[in-house]
């Protein structure tokens, strides 16, 4: 065999899997069509989200459903042409979002979330000074426009923080502006989650981890993951320089993972929630210190190396559909006066895909019907957060070590 393992996908999850397998003496090839970190891992809000102990659920209140049905909200836009294709997936998502099932999903995700910052910091320490300049222990802030929304959210947040041992500062209007002078008076209060960390260039962080992998002797190759085939007790993939083979294959292609698992007969309900980002010039004298979520409008403004990045909420549309620009325009109308956004810095909005399963858990573990085939995808909004901890868990499973947590909630065979 050319390698022990071929990892398909050089986003944050695939790179992390490759490093952890290499740490356990596996000869690893990391394959992607593009450069590491240039896909979904490039365009997110840059949060290592230690406080994300409850998954993003399908809204179940009648008020929220009616609001989204009008299709005029900032945090969700849906393309009517795509809804028939999404309908079965959305129905299961709604079912899995019942209070009891959501609580079960939160319990299942907690072991991964608890270690997310520690696992990132371990890789950052190894990846060197360039990586260290990208990660900042500033936490992030939920900002609220109306007192009633803040009051209800603060009660829930304080209960959650107490139950989970999370650090939380509740901020009235004056305290919020003292902590973030760049904010306008559009916001009346905020919740500062202190445990998460902010990344000022997620794509560059992924590249720094990929460089660590190469420094350790790993191989990065360009090729087409869809050419993966099982042949004579091995897996082969076509690269630009010919065919490579390995005993084991890891599918970590995020929203494109179905290009490999579907031809092999797996019917995993993986769908992509689309999202956009754009960078803007900062016009206010005080710099923004951390990511801010406009809770009531559903977008994030985060300080990045390139400027202020606006990251939108969810767009439900066909994966291959052209960008619409609708959601970004809606969010920008609220964000520009609130944050003092200046001119756009990107020639066009960036469009990315969040790989989601309806039960709000990633798919991590062995494929049930193919020897040597492993899955690591479906991290929804938290791919950056959960990449390194996923890499550790998968590598432990693949090498016969005792997993740090029970991996059964993420098993591919559940579908």
Q: What is the pLDDT along the chain (415 residues), one digit of tens a residue?
A: 799 999 999 999 999 999 999 999 999 999 999 999 998 899 899 999 999 999 999 999 999 999 999 999 999 999 999 999 999 999 999 999 999 999 999 999 999 999 999 999 999 999 998 899 999 999 999 999 999 999 999 999 999 999 999 999 999 999 999 999 999 999 999 999 999 999 999 999 999 999 999 999 999 999 999 999 998 889 999 999 999 999 999 999 999 999 999 999 999 999 999 999 999 999 999 999 999 999 999 999 999 999 999 999 999 999 999 999 899 999 999 999 999 999 999 999 999 999 999 999 999 999 999 999 999 999 999 999 999 999 999 999 999 999 999 999 999 999 9
Please report, to the nearest 10 degrees, the dihedral formed by the alpha carbons of residues 124, 126, 128, 133 taken in order: 10
Residue closest to 404 by CA, chosen among 394, 413, 414, 412 = 394
Q: What is the pLDDT of residue 129?
A: 87
CB burial string 338-377: b at 16+ within 10 A, e below: bbbbeebeeeebbbbbbbbbbbbbbbbbbbeeeebbbbbb
SS (H, E, C) 152-173: HHHHHHHHHHHHHCCCEEEEEH
* Extents of the domains making up the chain: 1-57+97-134+200-269+358-415
CA dihedral 115, 121, 122, 126 (to 10 degrees): 160
Q: Is 296 exposed, middle or buried (0-12, 13-18, 19+ CB in 10 A)?
A: middle
Instruction: For residue 1, give the nearest of 194, 243, 312 by alpha carbon.
Output: 243
Task: Report the predicted TM-score, pTM, of the whole model to 2 decimal places.
Answer: 0.96
192 Cβ contact partners less than 8 Å away, ≥ 6 residues apart: 139, 140, 141, 168, 169, 170, 171, 179
Q: Any idea which residue has 């087409």 for tokens?
A: 224
The whole-number pLDDT of residue 1 equals 78
CA dist 31 and 36 (Å) reads 9
Spatial contact of 335 and 349, defined as CB atoms under 8 Å apart: no
Quote the Cα angle for 74-80-82, to 5°. 105
Please report the pLDDT score of residue 152 as a whole number: 95
Is the CB of residue 351 less than 8 Å from the CB of residue 276? Answer: yes
- Nearest 5°: the CA angle 363, 369, 374 is 40
Tokens encoding 184: 């306008």
CATH classification (class only), 1-57+97-134+200-269+358-415: alpha beta
**Structure-token pair, residue 273:** 């929630």
DSSP one-letter string for 74-114:
SSEEE-TTTHHHHHHHHHHHHHHTSHHHHHHHHHHHHHHHH
């Amino acid at each position: 065999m050319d390698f022990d393992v071929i990892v398909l996908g050089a986003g944050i999850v695939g790179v992390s899997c490759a490093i952890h397998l290499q740490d356990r003496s596996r000869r690893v090839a990391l394959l992607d069509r593009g450069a590491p970190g240039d896909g979904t891992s490039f365009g997110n809000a840059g949060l290592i989200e230690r406080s994300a102990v409850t998954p993003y659920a399908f809204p179940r209140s009648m008020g929220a459903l009616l609001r989204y049905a009008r299709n005029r909200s900032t945090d969700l836009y849906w393309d009517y042409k795509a809804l028939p294709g999404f309908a079965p997936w959305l129905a299961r998502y709604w079912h899995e979002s019942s209070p009891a099932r959501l609580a079960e999903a939160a319990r299942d995700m907690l072991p991964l979330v608890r270690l997310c910052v520690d696992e990132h910091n371990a890789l950052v320490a190894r990846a060197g000074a360039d990586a260290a300049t990208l990660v900042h222990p500033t936490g992030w802030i939920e900002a609220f426009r109306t007192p009633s929304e803040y009051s209800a959210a603060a009660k829930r947040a304080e209960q959650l923080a107490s139950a989970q041992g999370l650090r939380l500062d509740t901020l009235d209007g004056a305290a919020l502006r003292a902590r973030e002078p760049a904010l306008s008076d559009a916001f009346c209060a905020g919740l500062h989650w202190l445990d998460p960390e902010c990344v000022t260039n997620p794509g560059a962080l992924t590249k720094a981890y990929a460089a660590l992998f190469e420094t350790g002797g790993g191989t990065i190759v360009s090729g087409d993951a869809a050419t993966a085939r099982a042949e004579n007790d091995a897996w082969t993939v076509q690269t630009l320089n010919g065919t490579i083979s390995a005993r084991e294959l890891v599918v970590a292609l995020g929203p494109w993972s179905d290009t490999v698992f579907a031809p092999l007969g797996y019917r995993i309900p993986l769908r992509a929630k689309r999202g956009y980002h754009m960078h803007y010039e900062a016009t206010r004298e005080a710099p923004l210190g951390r990511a801010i979520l406009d809770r009531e409008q559903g977008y994030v403004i985060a300080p990045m190396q390139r400027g202020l990045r606006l990251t939108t909420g969810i767009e439900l549309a066909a994966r291959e559909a052209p960008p619409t620009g609708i959601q970004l325009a809606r969010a920008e109308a609220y964000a520009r006066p609130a944050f003092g956004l200046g001119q756009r810095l990107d020639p066009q909005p960036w469009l990315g895909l969040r790989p989601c399963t309806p039960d709000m858990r990633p798919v991590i573990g062995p494929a049930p019907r193919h020897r040597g085939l492993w899955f690591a995808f479906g991290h929804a909004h938290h791919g950056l957060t959960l990449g390194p901890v996923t890499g550790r868990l998968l590598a432990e499973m693949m090498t016969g070590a005792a997993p740090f947590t029970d991996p059964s909630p993420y098993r591919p065979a559940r579908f």
